């Protein structure tokens, strides 16, 4: 996490996505309400994601604790040599870093992982244990932009993935070894992209900027396993939340949301005699449903203070 200014905080997630929170009154507000909650607490910060992952940071933005309902809590401690990560069962991972805070090694009870870099890019990851070592290599062969990942060679020495880009750094193709599962993309003015799959089937995606983010508003093309939503249209509210979806059979689904950006009502086959509405009531502080009402039944959920489900009851009606 980093404090960009006194009024802007950026939270970086494990998959690389960055969420920007801006001070509004006494609260830090995300660009989109479904991006979670960020609070200043004492000498640190606490972030709660829409998936109920809880991250606790110190005042300098260093992660101290991560809690998920599936994996429990992991604790991070910073030393002169790196970072120790301990779970509730007493297992430990130890990271070492270089001067750029890039991980150089990871020690686990089962072995060690070593990370290699050139001046600014990850070039290899080597996993070793008592029986030997295996290395995966990363390639950056685009002469126009050396930061673009163009390929991966696996531990067998086989190049199993390749990517190509246009002059703007946008991906235009992706494929596995021997051209398997090749996807080609053709970009048109930033608001539409034609995608061709390995079977030659094409779909065109149309975009619109809503609340600062690009959203898909229509997909045209022949349905396929890789694109079952072809010939569909989508609408959004001013927050960028999906309000309606019409599929390739003409079926309309509509959505409503709470102030927190959580779905409170979904109507399938809207506008027909077969319309079916599902409503959801949410926990007041966690991103967890406490009641889901469907035609014919109501499901209620109970949780402990950490958000772990402790009970579920179903009532027919």
Measure the CA–CA gap between 70 and 88, rounded to whole angstroms: 12
C-alpha radius of gyration, the chain, whole number: 24
Q: So what's the pLDDT on residue 69?
A: 86
Give the pLDDT of the chain (317 residues) as one tens digit per residue: 998 888 999 999 988 899 999 999 989 999 888 899 999 999 999 999 999 999 999 999 999 999 998 889 999 999 988 999 999 999 999 999 998 889 999 999 999 999 999 988 999 999 999 889 999 999 999 999 999 999 999 999 999 999 999 999 999 999 999 999 999 999 998 899 999 999 999 999 999 999 888 999 999 997 666 566 678 999 999 999 999 999 999 999 999 999 999 999 999 999 999 999 999 999 999 999 999 999 999 999 999 988 889 999 999 98
The set of residues, in sequence order, having a beta carbon less than 8 Å from that of 296 and lying 6+ positions away, is 316, 317
Could you please state the CATH topology (level 3) that the domain comprising 1-70 is classified under.
Thrombin, subunit H (2.40.10)
Length of the chain: 317
What residues contact 260, with CB distance under 8 A and at least 6 apart? 33, 282, 287
What pTM was estimated for this model as a whole? 0.85
């Amino acid at each position: 996490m980093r404090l960009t200014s006194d009024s802007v905080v950026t939270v970086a997630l494990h998959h690389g996505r960055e969420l920007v929170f801006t001070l509004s009154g006494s609260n830090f507000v995300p660009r989109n309400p479904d991006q979670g909650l960020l609070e200043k607490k004492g000498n640190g910060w606490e972030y709660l994601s829409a998936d109920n992952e809880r991250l606790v940071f110190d005042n300098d933005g260093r992660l101290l604790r991560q809690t998920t309902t599936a994996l429990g809590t992991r604790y991070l401690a910073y030393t002169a040599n790196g970072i120790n990560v301990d779970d509730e069962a007493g297992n430990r991972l130890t990271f070492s870093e270089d001067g750029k805070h890039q991980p150089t090694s990871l020690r686990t009870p089962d072995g060690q992982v070593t990370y290699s870099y050139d001046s600014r890019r990850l070039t290899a990851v080597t996993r070793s244990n008592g029986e030997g070592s295996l290395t995966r290599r990363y390639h950056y062969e685009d002469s126009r932009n050396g930061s673009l990942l163009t390929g991966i060679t696996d531990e067998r020495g086989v190049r199993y993935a390749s990517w190509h880009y246009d002059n703007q750094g946008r991906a235009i193709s992706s494929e596995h070894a021997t051209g398997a599962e090749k996807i080609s993309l053709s970009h048109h003015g930033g608001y539409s992209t034609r995608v061709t799959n390995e079977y030659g089937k094409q779909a065109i995606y149309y975009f619109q900027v809503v609340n600062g983010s690009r959203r898909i508003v229509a997909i045209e093309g022949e349905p396929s396993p890789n694109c079952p939503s072809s010939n569909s249209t989508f609408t959004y509210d001013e927050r960028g939340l999906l309000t309606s979806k019409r599929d390739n059979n003409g079926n309309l689904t509509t959505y409503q949301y709470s102030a927190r950006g959580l779905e409170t009502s979904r109507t399938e086959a809207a506008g027909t005699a077969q319309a079916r509405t599902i409503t959801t009531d949410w926990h007041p502080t966690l991103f967890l449903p406490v009641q889901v009402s469907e035609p014919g039944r109501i499901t209620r959920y109970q949780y402990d203070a950490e958000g772990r489900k402790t009970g579920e009851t179903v009532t027919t009606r």
